[in-house]
A and B are shown apart, each in its own frame.
Chain A
């Protein structure tokens, strides 16, 4: 059974009478020991998806439709009290800005102890011992629990946050741009650590990033989002090598690489749509070079094209991107 199963999730933000359709009909699942990389450009709804799962949406954000099943529980209908009980224990989140995730005037260890005591009701000493073990696990010296956040480098803070996310033994970890602010060498160390811990604790990981290169190297499955829709999901190999959606193909074509022949990179003309008033039909059609009349009128179904490889495009599987470009 999948650890996380999201079914037709719709999350809107309300601005007065209008609504921003930030996430509009997203479905995916993640098994234990599996990483799903959710990639897309800014404003495509990656973080809103994560916050919906953690139920951390700002006041004007609401899950309007769909289900989120975490383990054996459906969490969209839970009360605030019930969801508080589940956070950290069942699902935890690693936030984007390591520098801001800790309170600068409290010792790092104390902040993690607080989480553990709140959730598990153990004594201070027991919680401290757990933090020592966790620090050891993520490659930090246990004595540095007594440090303040400013005494840590960016990479060390990221390790401390990972330690914190594991503090209550969750089954799902959501990593929201966990390495974006780090230099490449540190970045790879953190990613290796995440992979090692995932294996050891059999975690399901939802990995959110805008950087397709990081996704390619670190995720089993990949989901590509565009304007609130999940446009393609499949194994990393399938999505990168045999992509079905024109947006996926274009986005990959826009990424520079240090290997292989150097070509002029592609770009996608135009800008992503305003989600207050998204275009009718397929949301990508104004920028899509393959768009036909049907794309302007009818929203494509999100369907399985090949085993485990889904796409939301009228012509998925029929287009050949290399030939036309």
Chain B
């Protein structure tokens, strides 16, 4: 995708969840929810990439499968050239220090009975990286200062109920940052937050990326937000990667019919701006029992005969622009 050497390569990754429908289901053909179906892309080192799509398109499953929080059905992900699916538990544990995940809801992630200091230092303690107490404390305070929770000493003493949503999300970021990761996967990191605070966190993450040379994978349903935090975008539809490329190009000139519809439907904070919206018929079906051919075809407004026959492959149609569509 780019000339920069990729930090993470995802190759033909699949995650199919078996569906059991009843007592006699073992006699029937096995059915699967194809949550992630043959997805490949690269994440350039030091870049940031957004995985976007509607709910149920498999973006969260994809992220979890990459980290092997869920075991993939087939395919693999290579982190700095190492195949993650070949690793033993111990090796995986060490690797996860370099690949951190930040979840959507900081209220649920952080234990309310622990102080911020314990929460932030937890990673170092659990992995037995830092056993000297004074040094641990110094690192925790440094991490808090990194995420601009100052005065750090004051925040370190607090419990989660004493913090606002934005501050909690910063604690969550500090928790990851203290392990000096190379890649951070952030699953809807700001969607729970109010607009004014959301921007603060987004800007902070941008600054941290520069200061610490981080690579980001953002998972989001909001393309407008994605535009401000990532340089590359991966659009998913029903478990399939349908389009990927540089963010501005994809947003300004989408190529896949689904991306076109998605972009045209994003509301714009300007009442004088009128645009043509592409309305898709029906709703997103469940990814069980998909029809043969392109899975977007039933809702697509531009399909041709070959769309019925075979699932389109992801091909490079313009330099850097990959689309899974025959048209």
Binding site for B on A (CB under 8 A): 41-42, 153, 155-156, 183-189, 210-214, 216-217, 236-237, 240-241, 250-252, 254-259, 262, 264-269, 271
Contacts and interface: CB of A to CB of B under 8 A. Distances in A.
Q: Which of A212, A259, A271 has the most CB of B within 10 A?
A: A259
A213 B277 contact: no
Closest 4 CB pairs of A and B: A213-B267, A236-B271, A267-B199, A41-B194
A262 B228 contact: yes
A215 to B, nearest CB: 8
B55 A185 contact: no
B227 A256 contact: yes
Contacts of B198: 254, 267
A232 to B, nearest CB: 14
B266 A265 contact: no
B199 A240 contact: no
B197 A267 contact: yes
Given A184-B54, A210-B195, A256-B224, 13 more contacts: A183-B54, A187-B267, A189-B279, A211-B267, A213-B268, A216-B268, A217-B268, A237-B271, A240-B269, A254-B195, A258-B251, A259-B268, A267-B198
Contacts of B263: 258
A220 to B, nearest CB: 9
Contacts of A266: 199
A212 B262 contact: no
A185 B54 contact: yes
Contacts, number: 111
Nearest to A186: B283
Interface string B182-215: 0000000000001111111011000000000000
Q: Which of A183, A237, A241, A264 has the most CB of B within 10 A?
A: A183
A188 B223 CA distance: 15
Interface string B261-305: 111011111111100010110011000000000000000000000
B240 interface: no
B196 A254 contact: yes
B166 interface: yes
Contact of B164 (A214, A251, A271): A271
Contacts of B265: 184-185, 187-188
A214 B197 contact: no
B225 interface: yes
Contact of B269 (A42, A216, A250): A216
Contacts of B313: none
A41 B267 contact: no
A210 B194 contact: yes
